């Protein structure tokens, strides 16, 4: 093989290698552009009860040492939506637990339940609401009943001034001492064979306020009272009961506040 042929062979091999290099790194043309700085944020639902966070959404209650004519006065919780999303605010009462706490000597004369938990009677005599006719006359001008059910024995009313309609639950401005939206339960006869459900009737029930927007605050009010003269419905009429039947009795329950996402 001559020198020229060797040179040509070398040139051919180099060319072939160069082709292989180019072929091996072949790819598509491409171009990339970026949409930068897109921000995605998940909202928050954060209910604060009296400024408290976790653990403050459940209020544990025990009512005891009460006597006929007692009034607890209004309990009040200020509820704030501290999140970024609107939420549906509601309050739930747990089952009301009635404790007899033993039987005192006067109680023995009228209480035949044996005196052990959970056969206390206090819950059924604690009245969480009043009949519309029992709203004080000086308060009535400020009260507008917006819904009333005589069969089930309840009404919902709006109160335009800071006046007390009587024992009830409800919602109101955080600066008020009484509710401005009243939910009153007064049932005094059928379909409840034992008469007024009392506080026991609240057991397991949920009351919804509505939508609480971010940053908004509302107060929840609750109070119960005992009549001076305890009565029970016997199916046809009210009858007197020995007031001693509630001696040493107590009730326990939880109130749970809940803020739920509003479904679109």
Partner 1 sequence: MKNGKTFTSIFIIALVLSLLMFSANQPSASACTLYLGKKIKFDMELSSNVPLFHPTKDSYFYPGSPKITKNLEVINVGDVPFRICMFNAIFYEDVYLATGLQIEIIELGTGKGEKSHLLYNGILNNLGEGVEVNGKRAIPHRKSVTLQISVWMPETAGNEYQGLSMTADIAITVCFPPAHHRGNK
Integer Cα distance of 159 and 143 in angstroms: 5
Q: Which of these ranges, 7-15, 140-148, 159-167, 220-228, lies near partner 1 under the rule CB under 8 A?
A: 7-15
Asked if 12 interacts with partner 1 (CB under 8 A), we say: yes
Torsion of CA 133, 235, 154, 168, to 10 degrees: 70
What's the min distance (Å) between Cβ of 9 and partner 1? 7
| Nearer to partner 1 (CB atom), residue 27 or residue 236 | 27
What's the min distance (Å) between Cβ of 216 and partner 1? 16
Asked if 32 interacts with partner 1 (CB under 8 A), we say: yes
Integer Cα distance of 26 and 23 in angstroms: 5
Asked if 151 interacts with partner 1 (CB under 8 A), we say: no
Give how many residues touch partner 1 by CB under 8 A: 41
Question: Of residues 3, 6, 15, 254, which one binds partner 1 by CB under 8 A?
Answer: 15
Question: Of residues 3, 6, 35, 132, which one binds partner 1 by CB under 8 A?
Answer: 35
Q: Which of these ranges, 20-28, 70-78, 106-114, 186-194, lies near partner 1 under the rule CB under 8 A?
A: 20-28
| Nearer to partner 1 (CB atom), residue 193 or residue 264 | 264
| Start-to-end C-alpha separation, the chain | 87
Integer Cα distance of 179 and 220 in angstroms: 7
| Nearer to partner 1 (CB atom), residue 37 or residue 193 | 37
For residue 250, the cross-strand partners are 64, 99
What's the min distance (Å) between Cβ of 74 and partner 1? 33
| Nearer to partner 1 (CB atom), residue 241 or residue 262 | 262
Q: Which of these ranges, 40-48, 56-64, 97-105, 178-186, lies near partner 1 under the rule CB under 8 A?
A: 40-48
* CA distances for 182 relative to 4, 48, 164, angstroms: 111, 22, 10
Residue pair 234/107 in contact (Cβ under 8 Å)? The answer is no
Asked if 20 interacts with partner 1 (CB under 8 A), we say: yes
Integer Cα distance of 189 and 231 in angstroms: 12
Residue pair 187/196 in contact (Cβ under 8 Å)? The answer is yes
Integer Cα distance of 70 and 37 in angstroms: 63
Asked if 264 interacts with partner 1 (CB under 8 A), we say: yes
What's the min distance (Å) between Cβ of 158 and partner 1? 31
Integer Cα distance of 150 and 155 in angstroms: 8
Collapsing DSSP states into helix, strand and coil, what is residue 203?
A: coil
Footprint on this chain of partner 1 (rule: CB under 8 A): 4-5, 8-9, 11-12, 14-16, 18-23, 25-45, 84-85, 261, 263-264
């Amino acid at each position: 093989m001559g020198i020229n042929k060797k040179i040509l062979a070398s040139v051919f091999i180099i060319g072939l290698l160069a082709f292989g290099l180019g072929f091996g790194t072949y790819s598509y043309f491409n171009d990339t552009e970026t949409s930068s700085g897109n921000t995605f944020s998940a909202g928050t639902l954060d209910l604060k009860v009296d400024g408290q966070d976790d653990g403050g959404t459940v209020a544990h209650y025990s009512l005891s040492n009460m006597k006929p004519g007692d009034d607890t006065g209004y309990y009040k919780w200020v509820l704030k939506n501290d999140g970024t999303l609107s939420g549906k605010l509601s309050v739930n009462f747990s089952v009301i637990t009635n404790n007899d706490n033993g039987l005192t000597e006067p109680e023995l004369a009228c209480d035949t339940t044996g005196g052990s938990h959970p056969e206390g009677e206090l819950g059924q005599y604690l009245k969480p609401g009043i009949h519309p006719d029992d709203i004080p006359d000086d308060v009535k001008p400020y009260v507008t009943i917006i819904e009333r059910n005589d069969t089930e024995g309840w009404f919902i009313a709006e109160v335009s001034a800071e006046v007390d309609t009587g024992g009830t639950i409800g919602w109101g401005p955080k600066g008020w001492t009484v509710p401005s939206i009243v939910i009153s339960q007064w049932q005094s006869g059928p379909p409840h064979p034992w008469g007024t459900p009392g506080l026991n009737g609240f057991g397991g029930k949920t009351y919804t306020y509505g939508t609480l927007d971010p940053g908004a605050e509302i107060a929840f009010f609750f109070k119960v009272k005992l009549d001076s003269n305890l009565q029970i419905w016997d199916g046809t009429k009210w009858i007197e009961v020995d007031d001693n039947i509630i001696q040493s009795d107590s009730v326990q329950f939880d109130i749970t506040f809940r803020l739920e996402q509003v479904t679109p």
